[in-house]
Structure 1
Amino acid sequence: MSEQLLDELEAINSIYGDNTLVPDSSSSSSSSSPSTQTYILTLPDGVTTSTLRLQFPPGYPDTEPPIVLGTHSTGSTAKRGSAARDLALFRDAVGEVYEPGQVCLFDAIEQVKELIAAVAEAEKEDDHQDEEEDDEKRISSYDEPHHDVIPGDATGLGLGPEPPWTLSVPLIELKSTFIARCAPVSSPQQAAQYLQHLLASDKRVRAATHNITAWRIRGPNGTSFQDCDDDGETAAGGRLLHLMQLMDLWDTMVVVTRWYGGQKLGPRRFALINGAARDAFVRAGLVEEDKEGGGKKKKK
């Protein structure tokens, strides 16, 4: 066991309490390698009742991240589906925060705590049935495929002309609805103005649960600007910006609107947010469908 791993074990148990991270005695005799250690992690501070089985390969932390093997049953009365949710969140967190040569458990635990807290907060909204029904009525007007750009009603508010939005098709899952819109922009100020115009001119968007934004702009003299905003949907803005980086999109902004449907989606919501954004980029002609492979490629 490396000194870095020993120090990390001591630090995690010092910060979050004894027995937060302990050896998995059941795996000691079956481990395929004497230099591979398996531990049980109890996520701290009462954010969840789930415990996870982690395996530290010989190369950790220099060349390999810890492997999240699965959940560890403790006989607790966890809410159905919460263990699978926490497992997926922690795997995502480890993948995001790990850097070769650096221990990563503290950062992964803190990120998962924030995500689980956000999910718990979202669950509190499920008693607003009347609001959900109103949202469904408002959303229905977006279902017509020819409405790529919706005219605004901000006349007289001094917000300038209607931004040239291109809309995605609505994505609906467990009553939550996601719609993305993108537009060309040439400065951060213009991106902020477009978002302000959207919120001022469209009450359906203004009343939505989240409006997640990201933009990337090439400025003069080799400068560049990029930024994002979660609008309460923890980590969603950063993932949206990362998508734009992967697709090499510039001088463009995207807004993904979510109306919460009363049922938690867990990590699945990130795939829906990015999926809606991709569809808007395709419809705007920024990227084109790769029909044979089922993916998308940047338009030349």
Structure 2
Amino acid sequence: MSEELQDEVEAINSIFGAGSLVQAGEESDIYVLSLPEETVSLRLQFPPDYPAVPPSVLSTNSSGGRRGLGARDLELFRGALGNIYQPGFVCLFDAIEELKRLQEEAGLNREPSLEPKGTETDKEVAARQNGSTCSSHASGLGPEPPWVESDPFVELKSTFVARCAAVTSPDQADQYVQHLLASKKRIRDATHNITAWRIRGPNGTSFQDCDDDGETAAGGRLLHLLQLMDLWDTMVIVTRWYGGQKLGPRRFALINSAARDAFVKAGLVDDSAGSKKKHSAK
């Protein structure tokens, strides 16, 4: 397995959940891709010189879905690969996203997407463009939030740092984000500040939201991580400083790794296996 493919397998399983992309057998160049929110899985063959040469989509397996879904997704994914692949660049994450787009065009999506649209709110634009104003009002945003900070994760000069905190309401989560941006110029000036939170409300209600801050799909992936770990009353913000070299799908694995490290340091998950330790932050 090439280093690029190894990184891509790790990234896909980090983004979409363990077992999303698995080797079909020992020392095999064939992998099984379980498509997100689908009953269909695809068998892909990666040549030894991938990504210089594209993968091949061999076949599909459908379980529990409507008749014909497998053949439909097989053709759509082949089309997605054809649209996305560029020699020398890993392509699987982008191909999955392109598949979603093609499904939407064909009116075939069966589940609403959790992914944000990648646009900033007016308030976020104002916070980004008026740094001095934000700083001058930091004292009016309340006390310093009880952040637990991850170790920095650095790759190709890009740096990722996560912070998590206990929250009890959507307003509090928003206040914590605004406090961080207003009081920390280096964070405010970062390339991306990706956030996600899940909160249990009264009478069985619940709230969850995310913001990718221009890093398309990252907020949704971060929220998915909270869901997989069954973490509640918790928010996380991952800050990225871009180092000038593109990381491809590897960046999503680094975002999730930084978030997990913050959860571990906060005592929300076990360090050894990354398994859940508690349901909510304290």
The TM-score, its normalising length taken from structure 2, stands at: 0.59
Q: Which residue among 179, 182, 187 is the counterpart of 1:205?
A: 187
Answer yes or no: is the 8 Å Cα contact 2:229–2:275 preserved in 1.
no
Q: Percent identity?
A: 62
What is the rounded CA distance, in whole Å, between the counterparts of 1:237 and 1:92 in structure 2? Answer: 14
Give the match for residue 164 of structure 2. Answer: 182
| Residue segments in structure 2 that go unaligned for 5+ positions in a row | 1-42, 44-52, 107-117, 119-134
Q: Displacement of 1:237 after TM fit? A: 0.2
Q: Which residue among 101, 106, 119 is the counterpart of 2:103?
A: 106
What is the rounded CA distance, in whole Å, between the counterparts of 2:81 and 2:213 in structure 1? Answer: 34
| Residue segments in structure 1 that go unaligned for 5+ positions in a row | 1-37, 39-49, 98-103, 110-117, 119-152
Q: How does 1:79-228 map to 2 (within 5 A)?
A: 81-82=88-89, 85-91=90-96, 97=100, 105-107=102-104, 157-228=139-210
Q: Displacement of 1:295 after TM fit? A: 3.6
Residue type at the aligned position of 2:277:
K
Q: Displacement of 1:175 after TM fit? A: 0.4
- CA separation of 1:93 and 1:182: change in aligned 2, threshold 3 A: farther
- Secondary structure (helix, strand or coil) at the match of 2:91 reads helix
Q: Output one character per residue of 1:97-153: Cα deviation in whole Å (capped at 9) or x when no partner.
A: 5xxxxxx843499xxxxxxxx9xxxxxxxxxxxxxxxxxxxxxxxxxxxxxxxxxx8
What is the rounded CA distance, in whole Å, between the counterparts of 1:72 and 1:105 in structure 2? Answer: 11
Q: Which has the larger radius of gyration?
A: 1
Q: Output one character per residue of 1:146-176: Cα deviation in whole Å (capped at 9) or x when no partner.
A: xxxxxxx878631100000000000000000
Give the match for residue 66 of structure 1. Answer: 74
What is the rounded CA distance, in whole Å, between the counterparts of 1:231 and 1:194 in structure 2? Answer: 16
Residue type at the aligned position of 2:60:
P
Give the match for residue 60 of structure 2. Answer: 57
Residue type at the aligned position of 2:246:
K
Considering only aligned residues, what root-mean-square deviation do their CA atoms show, in Å? 3.8
Answer yes or no: is the 8 Å Cα contact 1:53–1:72 preserved in 2.
no
Give the match for residue 114 of structure 2. Answer: none
Residue type at the aligned position of 1:258:
R
Greater relative contact order structure (CA < 8 Å, 6+ sep): 2
Residue type at the aligned position of 1:81:
G
- CA separation of 1:57 and 1:156: change in aligned 2, threshold 3 A: closer
- Secondary structure (helix, strand or coil) at the match of 1:298 reads coil
